[in-house]
Structure 1
Amino acid sequence: MFKATQGFDEKEWAKLQHHNIFQSSEWISSMASRLPGEIYTFTLSDEVGILGVIISQFDAYEAYNPQTIFWRKEPVFSTFCMDTRQKFISELDFIPSSLPALVLVFPGYDGNPSGKKHKDQSVISDFVALIIDWAKCMNISGVHSLYTFESPLETAFKRLGGQTYDLTTRSVLNVTWNDWNDYLQQLSANRRSKIKKEYKLISSSMKLSEVNARKYTNDIVSGRCSTLRRYGNQTSFSSEKKRLESLIDRYGDNLKVFGAIHKCELIASSVCVLSDSQLIVIYNGVSDAGNNVRYSHFASNYYAIIQNIDVRNVRVIDYGISHKDVKELRGCKSFFLKGHVLHLDKSGQHQHHAMAKLMSEKTLHTVNDYKGSAYEK
């Protein structure tokens, strides 16, 4: 039986098999507030399920907002030809509205369905058709699925007249070293030289370590809020603090924070969760003071983690989406994540689907080699 429930329906969700941390009740309960809209839980008996969020505000957080992903002049992700995209936008008679949009996605940038039938094409196609019928009844302009990897959602959307496109990359770092020097030796000579120069400057002004999340909660949240504001995003100290405290309570010792300390102040930090030998970097933050210290972000997000993880318990570090070149310089492997769209409003359907087609055709398909990510299960 198909069911659409406003909010996160933990009772129905408990009936499903989950395939990574992003689909777990613990994660969703802590992090669903990061989704910028009205949340719904979609399930089909105990076979398959997905979280959805109705985006209705044009200034909603960019990475979950179809309006910015499709139509902002400066693209959210630069994995395809930006000049071609801008030319396409400039030649339109009008910029269509993507909103209100139903976005199928979990917090943490994962769009693959949950449930024992999550790979069953027939079940997924029926499930998507039911969600789209529901969206039509709700007067939704378009249905979007974001951040999927090798999912039958692609065929499901295409069968219903939708379009698939390359959205961004996700990067993972396989832990194959024993210590810092061992890590450096596994990089190419060119990469090793660049990293050593960075690290020389970092080590002269910062101390890198794992830090106590409870002790540094306010500093971590302040850095996170500063980073969000720096990139033009809305932020709330109280909301960010509530999410961090929820993560600490739910994950305990598996909630890891790595930081860069400068003049006795935590100026940069990366918040991570250890799950099934995967260290998942949830977010990072750099304080206003840290923004004036060169390489502070790289210090906490890469080198503090690489130097301080217990390599016996971690086989892969999931560095999340986008910034492919920066991550690959430090040894990561990257793979593409897909987006899917079925725009229901006839006045903007052609433009949305044409843009999606352009985004797919113009992507540089150079990276698909990876091992051990949260998407592997």
Structure 2
Amino acid sequence: MSHFTVEKEIPADWDTVVTGPAAARSRWIRLTAERFQDEYKIFMLREEDGRCAVALGGTIVSSPSAGLDWFNPPLVLSGGVTRDGLAAGQPYAWTRRQAASAYPCLLLVYPHFASFPVGNRREDPASLRRFLTEVTAWAQVEGARSIALLFLHPVASHLMTELSSAGFAVVPLVERCDLDVTWKDFDGYLESLPKRRRGEVRRELRLLESRGITLSSRHPSGDESDLVALRCQLVEKYRGSCDPAHERSTFEQLRELVAADDITIFTATKDGRLLNFGLFVRDGDEWVAFLTGADYQSGQEGLGYFANLFYRPAALAPSLGIRTILYGPSARDAKRRRGCRVTPLFAAGKILS
């Protein structure tokens, strides 16, 4: 007989049962769980022998101001967050009035923008129904007034079927972008782009050279204060404020959870001044575009940005055995123009009676 548990820590056997996108792996949960205000938990249906049948992570979202707005389901599912194409122009799952009464909300999602079940029975309809029944019962006991899932990945198609059957509204949310590495060198990458776009990239790179911009890549060093400073400028520009200690802790966590050889930092400098950077984390044969930052005080923060985020990674990826570069949601048009394929992500929500 299977049994349901709610774990406050990531189970020791978690990575052995994770299949599918990298976002479910323990390192990504630990690196990004700070995006939530409340404690992150693992909801798990275990088989009689202890193996994981179905599991998904989640947290309680208690108010409209709790955490990042992209992870605030009542706001997202009622059209309260529409930047970067998030639910823009889509049918919304909830009205604004429903959303106002939807707190606290149990959100089932991995903090690195993905939601899908893992476990031996992740595609079994009966197990998925049992999992949803148990999660709903737990949420009601905890006083939650709604349940939602954001950034549902296509690998969660069986779960989405069961969500619809259980009374959840399932709606389009946003599109994520990934770059499949099908070339052997940078010339091959350029050939994968439309002719006009190819010419634009070449002109961009010639412009950088003419302006004395140096493009390079490296693994992390012991002191990343220059990166932290640029990261803080970017966060402050787009979020209004930044906590330098928090940004420093992100780099410290990276050093603890990821081998230095699996972290590649692409930089653009001029006369020794760092203008911007892109930081990529290797996970198997995938690269995850994880952090970026820019020196907005220089007035030249855009020089080399696309080179760091797209052109240099595209050139280096084949020699490292990288097959896919994961860019995630937001800035869809810029990513598509640089060769990314687009995958639709979905959301689901249900108001509890």
TM interval, shorter chain, is 0.7 to 0.9
Deviations 1:70-127 (A, max 9, x none): 3465514426554987xx97xx678624432211111211111121222222212211
Q: TM-score, normalization: structure 1?
A: 0.81
Would the aligned equivalents of 2:108 and 2:150 in 1 still touch at CA under 8 Å?
Answer: yes
Q: 1:25 to 1:232 in 2, by over 3 A?
A: closer
Query: Which letter does structure 1 place at the counterpart of 2:115?
Result: G
Matched, 1:78 2:88: no
Aligned to 1:370: none
Matched, 1:66 2:73: yes
Residue number among 138, 141, 145 corresponding to 2:142 in the alignment:
138
Query: Which letter does structure 2 place at the counterpart of 1:329?
Result: R
Q: Classify the secondary structure of the residue corresponding to 2:239.
A: coil
Aligned pair count reads: 340
Q: Offset at 1:312?
A: 4.5
Aligned to 1:272: 280
Q: TM-score, normalization: structure 2?
A: 0.86
Matched, 1:207 2:214: yes
Please report the RMSD computed on the Cα atoms of aligned residues, expressed in angstroms.
2.7
Would the aligned equivalents of 1:13 and 1:49 in 2 still touch at CA under 8 Å?
Answer: no
Query: Which letter does structure 1 place at the counterpart of 2:144?
Result: I
Matched, 1:47 2:58: no
Matched, 1:191 2:192: no
Aligned to 2:49: none
Q: 1:95 to 1:112 in 2, by over 3 A?
A: closer
Matched, 1:160 2:161: no
Tell me how far apart the structure 1 counterparts of residues 20 and 60 of structure 2 sit (CA, whole Å).
24
Q: Offset at 1:326?
A: 0.7
Spell out the pairing of 1:187-266 with structure 2 (5 A cutoff): 187-203=193-209, 204-215=211-222, 217-232=224-239, 235-252=242-259, 253-266=261-274
Tell me how far apart the structure 2 counterparts of residues 83 and 273 of structure 1 sit (CA, whole Å).
32
Once structures 1 and 2 are overlaid, which stretch shifts more, 223-232 or 165-174?
223-232
Would the aligned equivalents of 1:125 and 1:155 in 2 still touch at CA under 8 Å?
Answer: no
Q: 1:158 to 1:234 in 2, by over 3 A?
A: farther
Tell me how far apart the structure 2 counterparts of residues 66 and 192 of structure 1 sit (CA, whole Å).
40
Would the aligned equivalents of 1:259 and 1:304 in 2 still touch at CA under 8 Å?
Answer: no
Q: Offset at 1:8?
A: 2.5
Q: Offset at 1:163?
A: 0.6
Would the aligned equivalents of 1:208 and 1:303 in 2 still touch at CA under 8 Å?
Answer: no
Tell me how far apart the structure 1 counterparts of residues 192 and 177 of structure 2 sit (CA, whole Å).
17
Query: Which letter does structure 2 place at the counterpart of 1:125?
Result: R
Query: Which letter does structure 1 place at the counterpart of 2:319?
Result: V
Tell me how far apart the structure 1 counterparts of residues 306 and 218 of structure 2 sit (CA, whole Å).
16
Q: Classify the secondary structure of the residue corresponding to 2:40.
A: strand
Would the aligned equivalents of 2:275 and 2:300 in 1 still touch at CA under 8 Å?
Answer: no
Spell out the pairing of 1:273-288 with structure 2 (5 A cutoff): 273-288=281-296
Query: Which letter does structure 1 place at the counterpart of 2:25?
Result: S
Q: Offset at 1:332?
A: 0.8
Q: Offset at 1:341?
A: 0.8
Query: Which letter does structure 1 place at the counterpart of 2:197?
Result: R
What residue ranges of structure 1 are gaps of 5+ in the alignment? 347-377
What residue ranges of structure 2 are gaps of 5+ in the alignment? 47-51
Once structures 1 and 2 are overlaid, which stretch shifts more, 14-23 or 190-199?
14-23
Q: Offset at 1:243?
A: 2.4
Aligned to 2:112: 108
Query: Which letter does structure 2 place at the counterpart of 1:42?
Result: F
Query: Which letter does structure 1 place at the counterpart of 2:76?
Result: I
Q: Offset at 1:211?
A: 2.6
Matched, 1:297 2:305: yes
Q: 1:332 to 1:94 in 2, by over 3 A?
A: closer
